[in-house]
Structure 1
Amino acid sequence: MRLPDFEAWAIFAAVVEHRSFTDAAKALSVSKATVSKAVTRLEQHLDTSLFSRTSRRLALTESGKRLADHAQRIMAEGVAAEEAAHDETADLSGVVRLGAPMTFGLLRIAPLIAQFTRQNPLVDVDLHLSDAHIDIIEMGLDATIRIADMPDSSLRARRLADVTLHVVASPAYLAERGRPNHPSDLGSHDCLCYSNATTPDIWRFSGPGEQNVVVQVRSRITVNSGEAMLPALREGVGIARLPDFIVGDALAAGDVEEILADWRAPPFGLHLVTPPSRLRPARVDALLDFITRHHGCRKMNDHV
C-alpha cells in the first residue's frame, strides 16, 4: 500500500489557509518552489486540479474545495500530535484560539479567560466573539462555544447546559397593548426577533397538557444580537424572547416582565464544540476543562 503524501497534504492546507503560494511558503519557512512542487505532486497523484491559477488570482477548484477540509484536518492532527508529545514534558504554553457568541462571550467567557490566563502565565488566548455561525476548521479555532441545537456533523461537543428563553415585555408595553395569555395571542403583537435563528419570526412553544404551538410573529425589529434588543424592549417597542444571561438583570430590576410563564420555548443547548480529532494540545484541554468546571459540565464524550 502506498502511503499518503502527508507533506503535500500539509502544504496544500497551508496554501488554502493563506490563499497564496508565497504566503504559505513564508509561513512554513520553505521556498515557493517547494510549495508549488508539493501541490503539483498532490494534483498528479489525485489526478485532479486543486487550484485555478492566474497571474492575479488563486482560487480553489470544486475538487479543491471538497478536499480542503481533509487537508486541514491532516495538518491539524499532525500539529496536535507533536504538541501533545511536547506537552507531556513541558509547562502549559502557547496560544489557544477560542470562539464564543458575542454577549455570552463578554459576560460569561471573558471573565473565565482572565482567570485562566492569570493562573497560566505562559498560555495566550485568542478569543473570537461573533454571533454569526462560524466554521471552526476554516478559522483555525481550537474550540468554540455555541448556543444552538447542534446538527449532526463530524464535530465533537460537550453540552454545558440548557439555555432557557424568557418571553418578556416592558410594563409600559403591556399596559398599552395588553398581556398575551396564550402563544397564539402573539400574532397581534409587535415582537423583536433574533436574525441568527433559522426562522426568526417563527416562535415555538410547549405548554400545559403537552400542547405544542407554533406562532408566526410580526417583527418590529430584527437584529443579530440579543443584547441589542434591550433598549427597544425597555422602551416598550415589542415583545422579545431572550436567554437569562441577557435579560436576567432587566427582569430583576423590573424593567421587563415575563409573560406566558406556563409556556416554554424549546431550550437551546450551550455547547463547547471542537474539531473531530481527540488529539489536542494540553493547553487546549486545560482551558476547556477550566470552562467545563465553571459551568458544571460533563466531560466531552459524545459526538454531534
Structure 2
Amino acid sequence: MDQLSAMRVFRQVVDAGGFSRAGEALDMSHSVVSRQVRWLEETLGAQLLNRTTRRFALTEVGLAYYRRCVQILDQVEDATLMVQHHQNHPSGLLRINAPMVFGTMEVGKWLPDFMRRYPELRIDLVCNDRFVDLIAEEFDVGLRITRTLPDSTLMARRLSVSDMVLVAAPSYLERHGTPSVPADLVRHNYLAYSLALQTTELSFTDPAGALLSVAVRGNLQANTGIVVCDAVRAGMGITASASFVVHEDLRRGDLVKLLPGYQLQSRDLYALYPQNRHMSPKVRAFIDFVSDYYAQFRWHC
C-alpha cells in the first residue's frame, strides 16, 4: 500500500468521525478503509486508534500523528496546486538566443504580444552570430536560420522557411549593370556575410533544375548581416540575403531581386531546445506561440 494514501484515509476517518462516513467521503467500502488504517498502524508499529463496536478514540500517539498528517497532507496539496498553476501559467525567466539579424528584425515584431499573453514570464533575449551552446550557456530555447542542422541532442521544431535572394540597390545597378546569368557575377562587387558556409562561391539551381556554381568576390565582408545589407542598400554591391531581411526593401523598391530564374538554396527557421522528459511550460508556451505566428508565411519576395 501507499503510505501517503493511507495517511489520507486515516485523516478522513478522524475528520469524519468514523470509518463508514470516511468510506462514503472517499467512495470506499468500510472494510477497505479499515484495512488501510490497520496497514498504517502495522507499518508504523503503533496503535493510532482505540476501537469499540460503536466508536473510536485517538490514542496519544495517534493524536500526535494525526496533527502531523494534517500538516504533511496540506503541504502536499499546496505543492500540487503550485505545480498546476505553474503548468497553466508559465512563469519565471525564459532565456532566448537568436541570430543578430533575426533578433533585430523579426523577434521585436511579436515578442511584445508573447509577453502580454504570459505576464508572469521574464525574458532574457541574447542576440549574436557566434556559435552558442544552448545547454552550456543555460538558454531555454534558441532560434536558428540554417540550411541544415548539425547532429545534436537538442530537440528541433521547424517553424518556417526563408528563401535566399540575390539583391542590389537600383543605384548600384545603374552604375554597374544588371547581371542576367550567374556567370555575370564575376564582374560585380559581392558583399559577403563572413559566417556563411560559403563566402567566395554561390550555388544556384537553373531553370532546368541543374546545379551550377560561380565564384564571387568583393571589397567587404562582415560577421553581421546587418552591416552587409546596409552597405547593399547604400549601393555598394550585391549580396545574397535571407528573404526575411530584405522582403520589405523589395516591396518598396529600395532593393531589386536579381536572377529571378535562378534559385539559391533556402534556409529553414528552427526553434531548438534541450531534450527533457517533460518540456517546461515556459518553453512549450514560447514554441507554440512562434509556431502559430510563423504558420502564416510572412516573407514573400
Q: By the TM > 0.5 criterion, same fold?
A: yes
1:217 positional shift: 0.5
1:278 positional shift: 4.1
Which residue in the other structure is 1:139 paired with?
137
1:180 positional shift: 1.1
| Aligned residues of 2:165 and 2:242 also touching (Cα < 8 A) | yes
Distance 1:129 1:239, change over 3 A: same
Separation in structure 2 between the aligned mates of residue 205 and residue 150 of structure 1, nearest angstrom: 21
* Residue aligned with 2:214, SS: strand
Which residue in the other structure is 1:228 paired with?
227
Separation in structure 2 between the aligned mates of residue 161 and residue 261 of structure 1, nearest angstrom: 21
Following TM superposition, the consecutive aligned residue runs of length 4 or more in structure 1 with deviations greater than 4 angstroms are: 83-86
**TM-score after normalising by structure 1:** 0.66
Residue type of the alignment partner of 2:223:
N
Q: Which whole-Å deviations, capped at 9, do the CAs of 1:70-121 have from their partners, x for residues lacking one?
A: xxxxxxxxxxxxx999643433211111111122112322332211222222
Which residue in the other structure is 1:183 paired with?
182
Alignment of 1:285 with 2:281, yes or no, is: no
Which residue in the other structure is 1:118 paired with?
116
Separation in structure 2 between the aligned mates of residue 255 and residue 141 of structure 1, nearest angstrom: 37
Distance 1:110 1:84, change over 3 A: farther
| Aligned residues of 2:159 and 2:290 also touching (Cα < 8 A) | no
Separation in structure 2 between the aligned mates of residue 208 and residue 222 of structure 1, nearest angstrom: 29
| Aligned residues of 2:242 and 2:267 also touching (Cα < 8 A) | no
Q: Which whole-Å deviations, capped at 9, do the CAs of 1:246-279 have from their partners, x for residues lacking one?
A: 1122212222211100011101111111113242
1:146 positional shift: 0.3
| Aligned residues of 2:193 and 2:199 also touching (Cα < 8 A) | yes
Distance 1:147 1:85, change over 3 A: farther
> 5+ residue gaps in structure 1?
1-82, 298-304
Which residue in the other structure is 1:78 paired with?
none
Which residues of 2 match residues 43-82 of structure 1 at below 5 A?
A: none
1:125 positional shift: 1.1
Which residue in the other structure is 2:55 paired with?
none
Q: Which whole-Å deviations, capped at 9, do the CAs of 1:196-234 have from their partners, x for residues lacking one?
A: 112222211112111111122012211122221233213
Which residue in the other structure is 1:249 paired with?
248
> What CA RMSD, in Å, does the superposition of the two structures yield over aligned residues?
2.1
* Residue aligned with 1:98, SS: strand
Separation in structure 2 between the aligned mates of residue 85 and residue 197 of structure 1, nearest angstrom: 49
Residue type of the alignment partner of 2:263:
R
Which residues of 2 match residues 284-303 of structure 1 at below 5 A?
A: 284-296=283-295
Separation in structure 2 between the aligned mates of residue 84 and residue 160 of structure 1, nearest angstrom: 34
Q: Which whole-Å deviations, capped at 9, do the CAs of 1:12-39 have from their partners, x for residues lacking one?
A: xxxxxxxxxxxxxxxxxxxxxxxxxxxx
Which residue in the other structure is 1:207 paired with?
206
Distance 1:199 1:230, change over 3 A: closer
Distance 1:189 1:210, change over 3 A: same
Separation in structure 1 between the aligned mates of residue 80 and residue 239 of structure 2, nearest angstrom: 46
Which residue in the other structure is 1:105 paired with?
103
Distance 1:191 1:278, change over 3 A: farther
Separation in structure 2 between the aligned mates of residue 253 and residue 111 of structure 1, nearest angstrom: 19
Separation in structure 1 between the aligned mates of residue 242 and residue 221 of structure 2, nearest angstrom: 16
Which residues of 2 match residues 249-268 of structure 1 at below 5 A?
A: 249-268=248-267
Separation in structure 1 between the aligned mates of residue 127 and residue 217 of structure 2, nearest angstrom: 29
Match for 1:88 among 75, 84, 87? 84
Q: Tell me how many residue pairs correspond in the alignment.
A: 215
Separation in structure 2 between the aligned mates of residue 194 and residue 84 of structure 1, nearest angstrom: 51
Q: Which has the higher contact order (CA 8 A, sep 6+)?
A: 1
Residue type of the alignment partner of 2:84:
E
Residue type of the alignment partner of 1:225:
T
Which residue in the other structure is 1:70 paired with?
none
Which residue in the other structure is 1:275 paired with?
274
Larger Rg: 2
| Aligned residues of 1:84 and 1:279 also touching (Cα < 8 A) | no
* Residue aligned with 2:218, SS: strand
**TM-score after normalising by structure 2:** 0.67
